[in-house]
Amino acid sequence: VSQSRYTGGDKRGDYAIDLQLARSDRADVAKSQYSTILGGFSNEITSASDYSKIGGGHSNKINSSTYATITGGYLNDIASGSNSAVIGGGLGNAVQKVLGTIAGGAENIVNGQYGSIIGGRTNTMSGDYGVLAGGRTNTASGQYSVLSGGQSNTAVIVIAINTSNFYNYITP
């Protein structure tokens, strides 16, 4: 169990490494086997997250997802069943599907399998295999859709590609 002002706490998983210097809750531990928390404060890797890693940051969490990684940031979350998902950093980002990726930014959500958001703020990738490069308040829900950025753009059809800047809506 990591060093802390908090007494007691949950048990680390078998062969887990937890180098956090402090935690705010007894659950803030690398609980899964072979999982690793390299630093930071109040980070958690739940059970059934074998081989998952958190590099540091504050209040990041990996929930029952194997081979998942959060390198840092604050309040980032990888949901249950999001195996091999990656969050590079940022604030309040969430990956909710298998092999989803968020490189950074704030309040972005990947809810499509193999979907990726490179950055930006309040973007949503819910289409499988899609890519959203950045911007703000963009949504890509079509399978294989690609949004290059901008603001308030939406792509909802299969294989939609949008390279414009503001308030575009691509639909069948």
What pLDDT shows up at residue 2?
42
Residue range 155-169: mean pLDDT, rounded: 59
- Paired residues of 125 in beta bridges: 110, 140
Looking at the predicted structure, is the pLDDT value of residue 140 above 70? Answer: yes
- Pick the more confident residue, 9 or 128: 128
| Residue 23 pLDDT grade (very low, low, confident, very high; cuts 50, 70, 90) | confident
Residue range 35-43: mean pLDDT, rounded: 97
What pLDDT shows up at residue 3?
44
Residue range 62-76: mean pLDDT, rounded: 98
Listed residue (63, 103, 54) closest to 81, CA to CA: 63
> Would you say how long the chain is, in residues?
172
Q: What is the mean pLDDT of the chain?
A: 89
What pLDDT shows up at residue 138?
94
